[in-house]
Amino acid sequence: MATELKVPTLGMDMEEATILRWLVEEGTEVSKGDPVLEIETDKTSFEVEANGSGEIRSLRGEEGETLPVGTVLAYITAPGEEVPDRRETEKAPQDGNGRGSDSASASQQAPKRATQQVHRTEDREKEEPEPAANGTRRRLRASPAARRAAKERGISLQEISGSGPGGRIYLSDVLEVAPRSPEAAPEEVAPEEVAPEEVAPEEVAPEEALSPGPAAEEAPMREKLSRIRRVGAARTAKSFAEVPHFYLTRDLEVERLLELRGRLQEKLEHAPSLTDLLALATARTLKAHPRLNASYSQATEELELHPHVNLGLAVATEDGLMVPVLKKAETMPLGELVPKARELVERARSGKITFAELTGGTFTISNLGMMGIDSFDAVINAPEAAILAVGKLRTVPEWQQGGEWVARRIITVTLSVDHRVADGADGARFLGDLQAAITDWELLL
């Protein structure tokens, strides 16, 4: 039986991937585990490995082409074996097992969302253009106008997600990413608002100035966004526009937390930071608050309650915000969590993070305390249901009876919650339990 090599899903919100580079060609002999192609998603790029041994046959997909998850990219056949009819195999209803190369583990952990997934599959079948039966490769599709606009703006089409069938890119998709062409820009800047002396052309770094024409001195400086920033922009905008946020702010007393940290620093090779300890406490507390470790599905009006806490850690990098994920964080002992978290953060900053490590999050913590922020409201990392924004460690007076006060050390946290998933009381109870946990660690055991 020929093995189908499909566009894998590595995260539940991953719906499509772009082929970056093929590492094999039609007829290449591969062994299971050999790298076959590099693909890119809106989070990162990664290598897809052969999921069987044999000959690559009926290879499909152009470099630069964006394909939905589950699309058969090739068959891996034993010698003499026939290549199955692609249309038949692709039309067959797919269950959780059929979605990706990590299907085995996926099925064990399948969240309670079988109904929704069937819907999605059907939708995709309707929308996806019929692949050529002979396995002809398809190029990335973009309208000529879109291509011209992208070229004028110096944007690669591969960085644009098309709104047309099969991801076809239209002019509007390009304009969404970059509304104006550089030539058009000067017209829209009121000349009197920018004194020419202030932005002398010499001061503009060449790589930043996309339009060094005569009018450049009057134009705003333009910075081409990294892919991470562009995707971040789209995702945060979508989340902020579509997810009904509400915010619960609470001061967490952290005397016991600090005390614990002090003890552990003496005993452990990898001493935990306050963030590490908060992460551990949060992950374990979430076990008792499934609604905050869930996702809302608009299509089916259902909640997906995730079986594990995959804790996202917001990390500021040079390229923009990244959120590596601690998988099954609720099961991790501290000695495992601390080095793992360190490693993820480090790899995110150095750009060596893998796709898998950036996907599958169910709840995120964002800490700006080390940057002097008292408290802040974070945008939910959809489709997660909540995010915890952590401020700096502060010492505040706590007034006692009789006018006396004592110094208390606190951290102000703000929980942003998707109101479709949980209510204020749910969030308040979670924050209460989190306070209890960092006060009395035995509660987490």
Residues that bind other proteins (CB under 8 A): 127, 129, 143-148, 163-165, 170-172
Residues 386, 416: contact at Cβ < 8 Å? yes
Residue 37 CB, nearest distance to other proteins (Å)?
Answer: 27
Q: Which amino acid is at 379?
A: V
Which tokens go with 414?
A: 């703000």
Q: Which amino acid is at 444?
A: L
Q: In whole angstroms, give the CA distance from residue 297 to residue 111.
A: 13
Residue 159 CB, nearest distance to other proteins (Å)?
Answer: 19
Q: Which is nearer to other proteins, 148 or 408 (CB)?
A: 148
Q: Which is nearer to other proteins, 127 or 223 (CB)?
A: 127
Query: Is residue 364 within a helix (H) or strand (E), and if so which, with residue range?
Result: strand 363-367
Q: Which is nearer to other proteins, 4 or 173 (CB)?
A: 173
Q: Which is nearer to other proteins, 79 or 144 (CB)?
A: 144
Residue 153 CB, nearest distance to other proteins (Å)?
Answer: 14
Q: Which is nearer to other proteins, 97 or 156 (CB)?
A: 156
Q: Which is nearer to other proteins, 165 or 335 (CB)?
A: 165
Chain CA centroid to CA 304, Å? 18
Q: Which is nearer to other proteins, 144 or 372 (CB)?
A: 144
Residue 147 CB, nearest distance to other proteins (Å)?
Answer: 7
Q: What is the DSSP annotation of 59-95?
A: ----TT-EEETT-EEEEEE-TTPPPPPHHHHHHS---
Residue written as tokens 């305390």? 369
Q: In whole angstroms, give the CA distance from residue 219 to residue 237.
A: 26
- Bridge partners (DSSP) of residue 413 are 250, 390
Reported in sequence order, the residue ranges of 314-443 that DSSP labels E, i.e. its strands, are 315-317, 320-322, 325-326, 363-367, 386-399, 405-418
Using alpha carbons, select from 443, 272, 309 the residue that is nearest to residue 388: 309
Q: In whole angstroms, give the CA distance from residue 48 to residue 18.
A: 12
Residue 170 CB, nearest distance to other proteins (Å)?
Answer: 6
Residue 145 CB, nearest distance to other proteins (Å)?
Answer: 4
Residue 122 CB, nearest distance to other proteins (Å)?
Answer: 15
Q: In whole angstroms, give the CA distance from residue 166 to residue 65.
A: 10
Q: Which is nearer to other proteins, 129 or 244 (CB)?
A: 129
Q: In whole angstroms, give the CA distance from residue 9 to residue 13.
A: 9
Residue 165 CB, nearest distance to other proteins (Å)?
Answer: 6
